[in-house]
Amino acid sequence: MKKLIGRVLLGISILASAACTKIDNYELPDASLEGNLVSSEGGNLLTSQGSTQIRLEQISWSATPSPQEIPSKFDGTFKDTKLFKGTYKVIPKGGAFWPIYDTARVEIGKGTKHDFVVTPYLLIKNFTATLAGTTLTLKYDIEAPIGAGLPTILETQPFINTTKLVGTGASIRDFSDVYKVSINKEWSDMTSADKSITIEVPDMLPGRKFFVRAGVRLNDSFKSYNFSDIIEINVPST
């Protein structure tokens, strides 16, 4: 009896071993998608890390696919190198730009590139950052490519960090959020003075390097920001 039980257990062990060594024939995700969020006003749409996503739905796999997202980078580029080959519906979401309702149909394979042209809610123009001692002064103008129907302009603020990764979720609060300026106006109600911003940030740390940009937040469903470019500031040692 013991011999019989031993043979049965040996047989089960062999079958289990064979099952574990079965070759997985599924292909690994080796396709990629990269591109730019191109502003209709010229250049890339400047964003903050993850503030805008590229949403994908693989319709060649399922009629009701679960969406996946590629986060944008600060310079308005995006890239994902671990996608499955196939046909996707692709659309940018979540940024401070006029909504896009028509999804693009993209065949994604190795090295696929696709750009999206978007119209930003606002443009930050003439952005300067100057130092007087340890006081940093930011000046900039805001313009609207399309004024009618623009979401309410909520506020504007500096974003300051010690690295080039600077924006929402990546800034020093005491140099950034503390100097937020409330606006809470419709574009049509804003005067020329409202559209020309000056913000002073005192007590910058001597002997340190900072990266500075400005953002303007709107009351859309994402509470999103339009951003300026990034300026490097070196505060002299005292």
Closest CA to 91 of 117, 112, 73: 117
User: What whole-number distance in Å separates Cα of residue 227 and Cα of residue 211?
Assistant: 13
Whether 80 has a pLDDT exceeding 50, the answer reads yes
Whether 184 has a pLDDT exceeding 60, the answer reads yes
Whether 91 has a pLDDT exceeding 60, the answer reads yes
Average of per-residue pLDDT across 143-154: 97
Percent with pLDDT over 70 in the chain = 89
Please give the mean pLDDT across all residues of the chain.
Answer: 90
Average of per-residue pLDDT across 127-138: 97
Q: What is the reported pLDDT for 3? A: 46
Q: What is the reported pLDDT for 17? A: 52
With a CB cutoff of 8 Å and minimum separation 6, the contacts of 116 are: 35, 36, 37, 38, 54, 91, 92, 100, 104
Whether 97 has a pLDDT exceeding 70, the answer reads yes
**Where in the chain are all domains bearing CATH 2.60.40.1120?**
31-118
Query: pTM for the complete prediction?
Result: 0.84
Q: What is the reported pLDDT for 8? A: 42
Name the CATH superfamily, with its identifier, for domain 31-118. Carboxypeptidase-like, regulatory domain (2.60.40.1120)
Q: What is the reported pLDDT for 6? A: 45
What phi and psi, each to the nearest 5 degrees, are found at residue 2?
-60, -40
Query: pLDDT tens across 7-47, in order?
Result: 444 444 544 554 554 455 567 888 999 999 999 999 999 99
Q: What is the reported pLDDT for 11? A: 47
With a CB cutoff of 8 Å and minimum separation 6, the contacts of 76 are: 36, 37, 38, 39, 43, 44, 45, 46, 47
Torsion of CA 86, 89, 94, 96, to 10 degrees: 110
Q: What is the reported pLDDT for 209? A: 97
Query: pLDDT tens across 217-238, in order?
Result: 999 999 999 999 999 999 999 7
Q: What is the reported pLDDT for 238? A: 76
Q: How far is CA 117 from the centre of its chain?
A: 15
User: What whole-number distance in Å separates Cα of residue 180 and Cα of residue 187?
Assistant: 19
CATH architecture of residue range(s) 123-234: Sandwich (2.60)
**Where in the chain are all domains bearing CATH 2.60.40.2060?**
123-234
Average of per-residue pLDDT across 178-187: 97
Six token digits for residue 210: 């900072």
Q: What is the reported pLDDT for 25? A: 58
